[in-house]
Amino acid sequence: MHPAPSLILFTVLSGAGFGLLVWLGIGLRAPTGVAAFLVFGMGYALAGAGLLASAFHLGHPERALLAFTQWRSSWLSREAVLATATLAVMAPHAAGSVFAAAPMPVFGWLGAALALATVVATAMIYTQIRAVPRWHHWSTPPVFVLASLAAGALFVGRTGLALGLLLALAVAMIAHWVAGDRQFERAGSTMGSATGLGALGRVRLLEPPHSGQNYLLREMVHVIGRKHAYKLRLIALGFGALLPALLLVLPASYVGFGLALMSHLTGLLAQRWLFFAEAEHVVGLYYGKR
Amino acid sequence: MTTLPQSTRTKLGLVIDLDTCVGCHACVISCKGWNTENYGAPLSDMDAYGAEPEGTFLNRVHSFEVKRDTAPPMVVHFPKSCLHCDNAPCVTVCPTGASYKRAEDGIVLVNESACIGCGLCAWACPYGAREMDGVEKVMKKCTLCVDRIYNENLPEEDREPACVRTCPAGARHFGDLADPESAVSQLVAARGGMDLMPEQGTAPVNKYLPPRPRDTLTTPDLASLCDSAPEAATGFLGWLDRALERL
Amino acid sequence: MQSQPALNLSPQVSDEVRKTTCYMCACRCGINVHMKDGKVAYIEGNRDHPVNRGVLCAKGSAGIMQHLSPARLRAPLKRVGPRGSGEFVEITWDEALQTAIDWLRPLRKTAPEKLAFFTGRDQSQSFTGWWAQAFGTPNWAAHGGFCSVNMAAAGIYTMGGSFWEFGQPDWERTKLLLLFGVAEDHDSNPIKMGLGKLKARGARVIGVNPIRSGYNAIADDWVGITPGTDGLFILSLVHELLKAGKVDLDYLIRYTNAPYLVDAGTGLFLRDADGKPLVRDRKTGQAVAWDSAGIAPDLAHGMERDGATHLPVFRHLADRYLAPEYAPESVAEKCGVTPAQIRVIAAEIARVAFEEEITLNQPWTDFRGLRHETMTGRPVAMHAMRGISAHSNGFQTCRALHLLQILIGSVETPGGFRFKPPYPKPPEAHPRPHARHATDKPLDGPHLGYPLGPEHLLIHEDGTPKRIDKAFSWEAPLSAHGLMHMVISNAHAGDPYEIDTLFLYMANMAWNSSMNTSQVMQMLTDQNEDGSYCIPRIIYADAYSSEMVAFADLILPDTTYLERHDCISLLDRPICEAEALADSIRWPVVAPDRDVRPFQSMLLDLGHRLGLPGMVQEDGTPTYRDYADYITHHERRPGIGPLAGFRGNGEGKGRGAPNPEQITRYIENGGFWIDHIPEDAHFFKPWNAAYQDWAVARGLYDKPQPYLFNLYLEPLRKFQRAAEGHGPLQPPDHLRTRLIESMDPLPRWYPPFSEPEADAFPLHALTQRPMAHYHSWGSQNAWLRQIHGHTPLYVSGDIWTEHGFTKGDWATLTSPHGRVTLPVVRMDALNPDTVWTWNAVAKRRGAWALDTNAPEATKSTLLNHLIHELLPAKGDGLRWANSDPITGQAAWYDLRVRIEKAPAGQSVSYPDPAPQHSPVPAPPRNLTHQKKP
């Protein structure tokens, strides 16, 4: 799949934002006044920026309201509904914290649940897509959820929690890669099954339908070198989970948390880039791209 | 309406004969022409006369080569457009309800005025049947010429998809695949019509007829066809003489 | 949950449908042009039309983009930069026509032959030829010599017609179809429709072609033959069939010259005092005229006379092809097939022909007056195209194929091959070529024709050619379509003489319609010492900004095919079917929005201004207002005009006075006219009295002209005899051996003339036109160019492995004449010694209104760069034409090459000629202009 910057940014930033809101919602930190304004602001800003980035991905953002209608069947619609609901439900809690030093835990807990559900919905948008076998696996949501919660934990500066989540994220990322590398074969789609000609012999593409580019190739067929991918996996794992974890076991400091957060987000950008770039869509079979 | 209908009254679709398709792209262009003028937004062509032309097409013809162990390689031309799946994953992922499957005939359509151009439906489709238009920024796909097949402004015989009407070799057939008695269903039954990527669980309505066996000619040697071997006894001339006498 | 949107399922399709004829290739299908707001909106096939029955190929449906192409020329142009640069200024039509008059009028008064007028994919050849005849120049032809004259001429000489416009397989009945060298380009929709019919009933198709693409991809059996060896393969099939006695003796006796007695001394037929060929009557043992009543012509025995045995043709034939040199074992390796493959195909032909014969209960009467109660057919059909004809042995190969068809009795019989009117038409019924010219006078007759002996050659007393292209000279005696591909090089060399003005129409001679493209561009720009051009003046008429435009001095812009009148005439290359006479028109479904004029109308205007006979009336006014007026009122013979339908009072079929309402009637009828042949005349046409009478009634002939098929082609023997030293007309000595070897009266195979290059250039290189392109036109078409925008070189798996190619590599092909570099692609379904690429895609930068970095220029080239119109020097001081020695057909499939991997870093194809200035404005970037109602 084409690693679109808008989608990478969206999933990383909004994931971090909703993760932060989860922890703020359940009152893991309960700042008030300016401090509350800053941390809630950060959560809202990240979640909002992510949503905004995703809007850039749309051909017709002016019709975006329609995306709230299909929550019964569509994970993308659910995500939109949940994200908006999170921000709305969390608002009294946030406003109370900022302006009245009076957090409203009912809204907080409810908002946290919604925030978590939003991240799950985001992950499910990808997980549900059977045509991308690497995504279509139970390991996809844990990566999204753990990354989100870990970022949130780093924001709220809870060392133990963050450490645990980062290590869990490392395990989840590895699991996602290891399983993902086998997913295409497991899905069973081949040029033979795609064309129905497999029983006749070995199928290969002779000529693509058009000599030039097309939307499908640009959007869904992205070929990435194995070596390149391996390097990026190390970066994702190192910066996204292991390095921040290491920083956390060092004596606690704001600088340490800051660095851990920066590292985590950097690593996550690499992870997300790979998440798209390594994901092979079965349509590539029709173009001899595997 | 992104939930799929429980069942549809008919299942209109195409049967594509891979034994007959010569790969001429006639269907590709008639589709382009009809759908540029009809249902929804026109199909644009970006950089049309430039170094990297890229247009929207709802139907494209691939060419595959099949290598075989004991026979010469085959070339198979392979037209591909929306398969109007019963279990269409492109429909259920749509956040706005723009993508839907018609309850009456099973045609999968995009209501362009509700399409936000998120592209998720194209991701969900294993077949590459949907293309985002570069200018209009809405998702385009085969409509099975829904604006032809019921069109009372067209003569009855023209109420079929443009690709079927134009196919010179007659490699494309249109009909109701829910009706076992329909010509298309009969064809599928007789020729072993198949689904593409059945493992994807999409339950496509469109079927493909596989190429018939190739390079199987093993007629008995000529000699066994001869009543009297001409080279016997008197040679060719003798045979010729006898044959002329029999005329 | 939303409800399903309400759709308008019956939208208005268009305001109006205008029915005309396609011109996106030479197929001439009927099209329905849907109009919205007075503009062309959508094009589909016309269901009533005899050619395409409603279907339409990719090109046809993309006609709208051709019509709207940004490459359309906008006004007459005068060259202001050097030739080849593409620098022009727009001028008025008055200035343009006056310029042409100023150039042409003096030529007509002094030396009309100094005008060479050649047309390319012209579908008005009977008109342009008539114009050239009136002008008085002997130098006119269209592109057939470059294209398929071997096929056409071999067919006419052998059996009175060939494939495509001449005839077709009996698609409804055939049970076995053999395709030889058929790419999809000619007669494309009818062949696809026919193949579809065969496939629908499970009939077998055998494809003989080095490349398994297109039709050959769906062939049930594929013979990946080595290029240039089809003739040998076919004659080996003949060997097998003869050996097994699987030939239709009855058919051969009745309908062919198989029983004719051949004079053992001269090789000419024994004839009686009236000149009638003699046969031996088995009943009496006497030699009698072939058409004597009640005889039993003998195929087995000859006559003793003057101490020599004069054998019938069939004995010569059997003796030759039964020889071991034609046995499968002897030919298989050369052909790139196995002996078993040849045997099995011969057996299948025999099985289907003789065990699955078809009998129609349709009585008919033959030309001898004999009534037959049934029509018996051998349901084996064959079709062939350029793959067998564009070789230096192409004429004889095409003859061999017809021989095979005839031996099994499958020509003009049910299930076999069928002629389409006005064919069958034997060589005798065609005109002879003419070239006698005088100042200010028309030519003495039609330019092109079918010589029956050396006496019909167009040569001066000293043997030098009369025509600039040397057609109908000893170098190409039967060049029935002229030799367009030789015009520029001959004119440049001043051999046989210099010309003044080269006038071309729709012929992209500076690019893909020439062999040796790079050098042709050089010839067009070469200057004499005084700075004048070697070819002094070039006028070019075309609708589009092609490569050739840049090399002309004066451009006369044509309209698109939707903006003008045309007629697809019985006098030309008609659209008839095996069971019907048909012709059609084009008419302006829209008016041009540019300062352009329909070429044919413009040519009539030019003819009027030049005062050409037939184009100006006594009072000085033009005879024809425009081409439509010519189509309606011109008569070639009394009562016979360009269009056969709705003549006289509107009921006239074939014959009748001009009808002023004729074009209106055609338009009302969907743009065409059709007249069905009576059922008893459907088959056996050359010998069927009912057909002959019908053809006379329709004006195809003026009297019945039954004839026999020429298994043994006596005119060839006449040329051979001249080369042996007999007769008053003698070829130059250096041509004698070649004439004797090639002009064999019985089909034979000889290696293509490029064979000696095989050691240094081991591979064959072919081009074929993609199904979605026609000549150069596809690349200006925004839709079609997306399908085929470049020309990768397809190489077989063996070559791929041997040279270590990987994806993304480029290869350089070298021929004795040049080299090209292209990206490579692997293809296994390919003759292992063959490489190929798409023709007609590559473009010169700056042409066709494309971006100068278009893939057509940067990832594409023409194999034409590798092909010379002359063979490499052999050390005999001569440069031999790279053509068939009989017809002069360009032998571009003889091309031999070697391949090397191009060094890494190659990113642009080679050659990469300098860009030409575009005489048309830059095109829009994105196309979304189509409007909904």
Write down the pLDDT at residue A254.
82
Contact A188/B at CB under 8 A: yes
Instruction: Render pLDDT for C747-785 as a digit per residue (tens, 0 to 9).
Output: 999 999 999 889 999 999 999 999 998 877 778 899 999
Tell which residue, B60, A63, B214, B145, has the closest CA to residue C223: B214
CA atoms within 13 A on the CB side of B58: 31
Q: CB distance A212–C786 less than 8 Å? A: yes
pLDDT higher than threshold 70 for residue C1: no
Sheet of strand C554-557, all strands in order from the earlier edge strand to the far edge: C88-90, C77-79, C554-557, C537-542, C501-505, C115-119, C140-141
The SS3 call for residue C28 is coil
Tell which residue, C57, C348, A86, C608, has the closest CA to residue B218: C348
| Chain C: partners with 3+ C-beta pairs within 8 Å | A, B
Judge if the upstream peptide bond of residue C911 is cis by omega within 30 degrees of 0: yes
CA closest to C321 among chain B residues: B236
Tell which residue, C753, C752, C807, C765, has the closest CA to residue C899: C765
Name beta bridge partners: C502: C116, C538
Write down the pLDDT at residue C402.
98
The SS3 call for residue C792 is coil
Write down the pLDDT at residue C26.
87
Q: Rounded to whole angstroms, how far apart are CA atoms C616 and A106?
A: 101
Tell me the shortest Cα–Cα distance from C600 to chain A, in angstroms.
37
Mean pLDDT for chain C overall: 95
Contact B123/A at CB under 8 A: yes
Contact C193/B at CB under 8 A: yes
Same domain flag for A172 and A46 = no
Q: CB distance C786–A206 less than 8 Å? A: no
| Chain B: partners with 3+ C-beta pairs within 8 Å | A, C
Q: Rounded to whole angstroms, how far apart are CA atoms C113 and C135?
A: 9
Burial of C876 (0-12, 13-18, 19+ CB in 10 A): exposed
Contact A233/B at CB under 8 A: no
Q: Rounded to whole angstroms, how far apart are CA atoms C879 and C869?
A: 10
Write down the pLDDT at residue A223.
83
Q: Rounded to whole angstroms, how far apart are CA atoms C585 and C49?
A: 12
- Chains A and B: how many Cβ contacts under 8 Å? 197
Helices (H), chain A: 5-25, 33-56, 75-99, 105-127, 140-156, 159-187, 191-195, 215-220, 226-237, 243-249, 254-277
Contact C47/B at CB under 8 A: yes
Same domain flag for A288 and A165 = yes
Q: Structural domain of residue A73, as residue ranges?
A: 1-128
Q: Rounded to whole angstroms, how far apart are CA atoms C644 and C654?
A: 4
Write down the pLDDT at residue A237.
97
CA angle A24, A30, A31 (to 5 degrees): 105
Q: What mean pLDDT is predicted for residues B159-175?
A: 98
Pairing mode of beta strands C287-289, C672-676:
unpaired
With a CB-CB cutoff of 8 Å, which residues 70-89 of chain A face chain B? 70, 72-77, 80
Read off the pLDDT band of C933 (50, 70, 90).
very low
Contact A72/C at CB under 8 A: yes
Q: Rounded to whole angstroms, how far apart are CA atoms C254 and C36?
A: 58
Percent of chain C with pLDDT over 90: 91
Ramachandran class of C202: left when φ > 0, alpha when ψ lies in -120 to 50, beta otherwise: left
Token pair, residue C616, equals 């100006």
Same domain flag for A162 and A288 = yes
Write down the pLDDT at residue B221.
65
On whether the pTM is more than 0.80, the answer is yes
Q: Does domain B12-209 have CATH number 3.30.70.20?
A: yes
| A84 found inside a domain | yes
Contact B29/C at CB under 8 A: yes
3-state SS, B16-31, equals: EECCCCCCCCHHHHHH
Write down the pLDDT at residue B7.
87
**Other CB atoms closer than 10 Å to residue C823's CB: what's the count?**
20
Phi and psi at residue C927, in whole multiples of 5°? Answer: -110, 120
Write down the pLDDT at residue B234.
74
Instruction: Render pLDDT for C604-653 as a digit per residue (tens, 0 to 9).
Output: 999 999 999 999 999 999 999 999 999 999 999 999 999 999 999 999 99
Same domain flag for A162 and A201 = yes
Q: What mean pLDDT is predicted for residues C39-45?
A: 96
Q: How far is CA C402 from each of CA C454, C711, C717, rounded to the nearest angstrom?
A: 24, 8, 18
Mean pLDDT for chain A overall: 94
Contact B219/C at CB under 8 A: yes
Contact residues on chain B for A219, CB-CB shorter than 8 A: 119, 122-123, 132
Instruction: Render pLDDT for A26-61 as a digit per residue (tens, 0 to 9).
Output: 999 899 999 999 999 999 999 988 788 778 789 999
Read off the pLDDT band of C874 (50, 70, 90).
confident
Sheet of strand C566-568, all strands in order from the earlier edge strand to the far edge: C566-568, C580-586, C672-676
Q: What's the length of chain A?
A: 290
Tell me the shortest Cα–Cα distance from B78 to chain A, in angstroms.
8
Token pair, residue B245, equals 């006498």
Write down the pLDDT at residue B232.
60
Instruction: Render pLDDT for C454-493 as a digit per residue (tens, 0 to 9).
Output: 999 999 999 999 999 999 999 999 999 999 999 999 999 9
| A213 found inside a domain | yes
Instruction: Render pLDDT for C343-355 as a digit per residue (tens, 0 to 9).
Output: 999 999 999 999 9
Place of tokens 């060589």: C427
Question: CATH 3.30.70.20 in chain B, residues?
Answer: 12-209
Pairing mode of beta strands C204-208, C176-180:
parallel
pLDDT higher than threshold 80 for residue C420: yes
Instruction: Render pLDDT for B5-47 as a digit per residue (tens, 0 to 9).
Output: 888 889 999 999 999 999 999 999 999 999 999 999 999 999 9
Contact residues on chain B for C786, CB-CB shorter than 8 A: 45, 53-55, 57
Tell which residue, C469, C470, C473, has the closest CA to residue C488: C469
Number of domains composing chain A: 2
With a CB-CB cutoff of 8 Å, which residues 264-283 of chain C face chain B? 282
The SS3 call for residue C774 is coil
Write down the pLDDT at residue A2.
92
Write down the pLDDT at residue C570.
94
Contact B186/C at CB under 8 A: no
Q: CB distance C787–A207 less than 8 Å? A: no
Tell me the shortest Cα–Cα distance from C916 to chain B, in angstroms.
16
Same domain flag for A101 and A171 = no
Q: What's the DSSP call for residue C876?
A: S
| A283 found inside a domain | yes
| A137 found inside a domain | no
Four-residue CA torsion sign, B218, B220, B221, B225: negative
Domains within chain C, CATH numbers bracketed: 1-56 (2.20.25.90), 81-142+428-504+536-557 (3.40.50.740), 259-311 (no CATH), 755-901 (2.40.40.20)
Q: What mean pLDDT is predicted for residues A265-279?
A: 96
Contact residues on chain C for A207, CB-CB shorter than 8 A: 825
Tell me the shortest Cα–Cα distance from A196 to chain C, in angstroms.
16
Same domain flag for A172 and A101 = no
Name beta bridge partners: C380: C176
| A16 found inside a domain | yes
Q: Which of A58, A70, A183 best probes binding to B when mutated, by most B CB atoms within 10 angstroms?
A: A70
Q: Which of B22, B39, B246 best probes binding to C when mutated, by most C CB atoms within 10 angstroms?
A: B22
The SS3 call for residue C604 is helix
Q: What's the DSSP call for residue A242?
A: I
Write down the pLDDT at residue A225.
79
Contact residues on chain B for A222, CB-CB shorter than 8 A: none
Mean pLDDT for chain B overall: 93
Same domain flag for A189 and A115 = no
Write down the pLDDT at residue B233.
58
Ranking A47-51, C158-162, C582-586 by mean pLDDT, the lowest is A47-51
Same domain flag for A5 and A124 = yes
Tell which residue, C413, C379, C412, has the closest CA to residue C174: C379
Q: Are C74 and C594 in contact (CB under 8 A)?
A: yes
Contact residues on chain C for A212, CB-CB shorter than 8 A: 786, 789, 855
CA closest to B114 among chain C residues: C5
Q: What mean pLDDT is predicted for residues C787-808?
A: 96
Tell which residue, C596, C598, C595, C568, has the closest CA to residue C583: C568
CA closest to B1 among chain A residues: A70
Q: CB distance A209–B138 less than 8 Å? A: no
Q: Which amino acid is at C522?
A: Q
**Partner residue facing B169 (CB), from C196, C243, C253:** C196
Q: Rounded to whole angstroms, how far apart are CA atoms B8 and B88?
A: 13
Instruction: Render pLDDT for C714-746 as a digit per residue (tens, 0 to 9).
Output: 999 999 999 999 999 999 999 999 999 999 999
Q: Rounded to whole angstroms, how far apart are CA atoms C602 and C605?
A: 5
Q: CB distance C786–B55 less than 8 Å? A: yes
Q: How far is CA C5 from each of CA B1, B89, B109, B111, C8, rounded to the nearest angstrom?
A: 9, 20, 10, 7, 10
Burial of C527 (0-12, 13-18, 19+ CB in 10 A): exposed
Q: Rounded to whole angstroms, how far apart are CA atoms A248 and C16?
A: 77
Four-residue CA torsion sign, C176, C180, C183, C189: negative
Q: Are A14 and A83 in contact (CB under 8 A)?
A: yes
